[in-house]
Structure formats: structure tokens, C-alpha cells
Amino acid sequence: MANANPLLLLSSLLLTYAICSFSLPPCPSCGSTSVPYPLSTAPNCGDPSYRIRCVSGTLLFDSSNNSYPITSISPSNQRLIVAPSSFLPNTCIAADLPSNGLQLNSSAPFNITSSNTIFYLNCSDTILNSPLNCTSNSLCHLYVNGTNSASDCGNTPCCAFRAGGSTTSYRIRVRQDGCRAYRSFVNLDYGLPVSRWPQPGVELQWVLPREPTCGGQGDCGWGSTCGPDPNSNAGIRRCFCNSGLQWDPLTGVCAKECQDPDGCGKDPTPLIAGLTAGLGVALIAALIGFLVYRRHRRIKEEQERLTREREEILNAGGGKTAKVFTGKEIKKATNNFAKDRLLGAGGYGEVYKGILEDGTMVAVKCAKLGNAKGTDQVLNEVRILCQVNHKSLVRLLGCCVELEQPLLVYEYIPNGTLLDHLQGGNRGLLSWKRRLSIAHATAEGLAYLHFSAVPPIYHRDVKSSNILLDEKLNGKVSDFGLSRLAHTDLSHISTCAQGTLGYLDPEYYRNYQLTDKSDVYSFGVVLLELLTSQKAIDFNRPPDDVNLAVYVQRLVEEERIMDAVDPMLKEGASTLELETMKALGFLAVGCLEERRQNRPSMKEVAEEIEYIISITAAKAAEQ
């Protein structure tokens, strides 16, 4: 059908356009379980008042005094199921009896739903006076009789009831002088035989989240403003959506309000079907033609408006102008992402070589960012990264947000990566002087990111394959700030996925935070690569020496640092040059200090390398 495509296009346009901003992204998956908004496994994702925990791939729900594994989550109706406490071995006593069973914090946004059928087991006789169903034909007897794991509960009073009443919406109470164990089933069909009942579970529901709280405007994403909560007298402030936008509690974003006078997302078919009866075929054809034409025009206008608005976001605040590339432009430039244009594939996605209409060569990077960020947020981050301007940093020229994944468009650096050069056949091209110069340039680029960029940018993935060389073999740092675009936690995940373990700050394993000093650590490894021409991780070295950082640190302890230096560099080197190699080695080892506070800052590293270069130059001038 002629109008199928434009419709599809329009709806996808509206869809991407609806996503505007949120303060915190949804949390990354826990093991293979995804964690929908607003559930929060860390302070920097989800809505922190919906705290759950992720422990070695399992999600845990913390009640007031206990933890229960989460077995399923259903974000569409804000429900999750936790596994109830088990019985102590060979008894009819619940493991959570000491803490009086399952008790939810009534200030937390969770309650127990009325879909739960609860059995109280091993009850004292006093329970028989309760309003619960403790008769001999109560369902709980059926359960005890029909379930092996509950066989210890036979011959004791038991009762059944539906949860969710006022006293049971926050707790399933067991206690020493009442009932000592419980079981719960979600949506139990009383007609089924016990053998076909589902696994025991307690279903909880969460309240739809409000706008995130904020201390100041800085906590709020684009499209929202920090202001006092009119429903709170405790002085709480929240990121309220700006006018024209509406809080969507399911996704935690400010979404565009519907402004289409013809109704948003309404299928035109009923209208057409209704008219069919009364109108002649020709008239209908004309009408359809007109609708299609109008739709086409609207799509075009919509597209132009979108591009304009995106460009405005991208270039807000002045400075360097960044370009919003259209999907068409990028497809043309990369010959529709042709295989022979593929430059490489990194942890964040593939990189293609592109030639723009004016002949400019660019590198187009597909940013595999998950669905963590909305279009406007991507634009906002790209805007920040486009402001970054230093001769040793690869320039980001703009982006394209029209195709499936956001694309980043960089200046094209022709000569491959430092890693390729050090490990390829022609590492001889990299003289000692050249290597010092590459080290200096990249250190300055990183120092610029840490100390001159606003806000400061931590690279988080410094490695020799992220240092590009231009035609004169000048070093240029690429891929900085990609972590800003991704999930907050993606740096962690991608580090594993990319196998850049050889570069990873060991303190990261202790607190899962990457700082400027983590970049310093990784840069220390790059310095060792420049010095030794060896790989950061190499399984061809003896087992203890697989990790280059560990290997060189050992040699330093044995006062044999020069043994690590690339023999090609040592060959024919002057005494002074040998001394500078040693000096760079010690600087690298300083960057690799176990404790962050003992590592130099990137600025100090850059100055130190400059000093090493200056003594070589001074001596050369003397001779």
C-alpha cells in the first residue's frame, strides 16, 4: 500500500520524539534479568526510592528485616513476585520466623497485592478463633496433604486467606505464639489439583513513581525544572516537566504532549471504513489521495521541524557548531554502510569510513547504547562532546539520531591505531622520539578532558587501540565521553566485553567507580606499551607475566626495568636515551600505583613527559 510506509515512518518519528528526558536512566540488567524503571539497583539509576539489590546475577528484595529473591517482574502492571521464605529443614517453621515473617516497610512504595492466596501453617489453637478460613476443608489442608516439602506441616491447624486487606498489605506475619510458617501462591486457581499449582510466590505491587526528587536544577535532565512539590510540606523538590511535556511514570521521562489536531496515534482506517458505505469509489480514492498527500506534507514538515529542533539543542550555548546529519546523508556517505567501508568494531559498535558530499572524510560510529537514553539526551551529550576541542583529541563533528541507533560522526584520522603500529610489522617507524611525542600529546589530550573540559570528562577506556595516529604519526585520543552516552554502568560491562582488562584500574574492583585516576592507570599501561612494544594482556608470556602492568612492576622490583624495554629501541640508543627510557618506565609505574591517591594527575603526567622530552632535546642541542 502506498501510504503504509509514511504511516510507519510517522509513528516511529513520533515515538522517538516522545522520549525527551529523565534524570536517571533505567538500571542495567542484573545477570539476564532486566531491571525496569523505576526499580533501582544503584543510586545512579532507576528511582532510588524503589531500591532492590543485584547480587551475583540475582535480584533481591529487602523487607524490613530480610531479603527475598525476586523471581519475576512485570513492569506493565507494576508487579513483581518474590520467593517466600522456605521451611527450616524437616520442620514446619518458616526461616523468617525470627523476624516475624515478611514485613514491608510501609513508607516504601511497595505493598502486597490481593492476588496472593496465603496459607498459615503450624498454627497454635488460638488461631482457630480468627476470621481466617481454618476449617477442615480449608485449601491449606489440601496443600499440606498434596505437597512433599510441606509434609511436616500435617496434623497442625492451618488457615487460608487472600492477602491485601488493610492488615496484610504490608506484612505476612508469623510468630512464635501464632502461626509459625506460611506459603503463598499468586493467582491460584482453586479448581486445579495441587500438583499443578504454580511455584510459591508473594506478589508485590509498586506505586507508580512520581517525578524524581532534586536538590537543584543540575539534578534534572533536559525538559524538566527543579521545583517545590506542592503535595509535600517537607520541602521536597522534584524535576517537573516543562510545559508541553508530560511526566510518564512508566518510562520515567518527560514526554511530548499530543498536539496533533487530528488526534495522535489514531488509526485513520475506521474513518475510511465509515465513509465507504456512503460515498462513491472515486470520491474515496480522491479522499485517500488527499489524506496521503496531507500526511506526506505533514511528515515532511514534521521532519524538518525535528531536524531544526535537534540542531537547536545541539548548538545551544554557542561555541563550536555541531551538525545533525540526516539518515540519508549518512547512508550516502558510507555507501549504505558497505562492508568495505568498515574501519573496525569496538566495544561500543562498528566504525565506518564516510565521505560527505563536500568531500570531507569522516568516521561514522554506531553507538550501541542500549535504549538507555532518549534522543534529546543523546543530543545533549553530543553537544557537550562537540565542544571538546584539543589538537590531540579526535573531533566529534555531530551526530545522526534518525536511524536505528544513534550515530556519531568524527573527523577521520587516516593512519590507524597506536596498537596496530606497535604490534604490526612496522613498529620501527615509531622511534623513541616519536613514541615520547605520542605519549606527550595523548597525555595532554587526556589532561584537557580532566581539567579544561566543562563538565570534566573521564575517558574510562584509555588504551592503545583508542589512540589514533595521523599521517605525521601524531597521537590523537578517540572515543572519549562515550561512557556519558551509555548506561552509567556500561563502562563496567563493556570493559569485560572488550577484554580491556589489562587496562582497568584495580580500585575499580573495590568500589565500581571510575575516576580521573582510573584514566591515569590505563594511561600508565599505554606508556608501558610504548616502552616495551608488548601487549597489555598476552597469554604467550609466562602465566605470572600475562598482565603487562604486573610483569613490568615485577621487573622494577628486581631492578631490571631495562629488560622490559623493546630491544629495537635499545639498539644504538645513546646513554641519555636509555636514561629517558628508564625515566618513562618509572613514570608509568607511578601511574600504576595500587592506591589512587598515590598516582599523579594527568596534568602532572603530561608535565613529566614534557620534562623528559626537554632533557633529550637540550642534550641533542649541546652535541
Ligand X SMILES: *[C@@H]1O[C@H](CO)[C@@H](O)[C@H](O)[C@H]1NC(C)=O
Q: Which residues bind ligand X (CB under 6 A)?
A: 64-65, 91-93, 98-100, 103, 105, 107-108, 111, 114, 122, 133, 135, 137-139, 141, 145, 152, 164, 169, 176, 180, 190, 205, 207
Cβ 182 to ligand X shortest distance, Å: 12
189 noted as active-site residue: no
Of 130, 126, 131, 154, whose CA–CA distance to 142 is shortest? 154
DSSP track, 176-214: TTSEEEEEEEET--TTS-GGGPPPP-EEEEEPPP-SPB-
Please work out, in degrees rounded to the nearest 5, the angle formed at the alpha carbon of residue 511 by the alpha carbons of 506 and 516: 65
The DSSP secondary-structure symbol of 134 reads -
Half-sphere exposure of 281 (CA within 13 A, CB side): 0
CA distance 154 to 89: 15
Burial of 235 (0-12, 13-18, 19+ CB in 10 A): exposed
**Of 110 and 480, which CB lies nearer to ligand X in the complex structure?**
110
DSSP track, 472-497: T--EEE-STTHHHHS-TTHHHHHHHH
C-alpha cell at 496: 569485560
Burial of 392 (0-12, 13-18, 19+ CB in 10 A): buried
**Of 191 and 270, which CB lies nearer to ligand X in the complex structure?**
191
Contact (Cβ atoms closer than 8 angstroms) between residue 206 and residue 50: yes
Q: Is 365 a known ligand-binding residue? A: yes
Of 392, 432, 453, whose CA–CA distance to 533 is shortest? 432
Q: Which of 96, 248, 461, 566 is catalytic?
A: 461
The DSSP secondary-structure symbol of 62 reads E
CA distance 378 to 401: 8
Query: What residues does 30 pair with on adjacent strands?
Result: 33
Half-sphere exposure of 65 (CA within 13 A, CB side): 13
The DSSP secondary-structure symbol of 97 reads G
Cβ 241 to ligand X shortest distance, Å: 21
295 backbone φψ class: left, alpha, beta (φ>0; ψ -120 to 50)? alpha
**Of 151 and 389, which CB lies nearer to ligand X in the complex structure?**
151
- Give catalytic residue positions: 461
Binding residue positions for ATP:
365
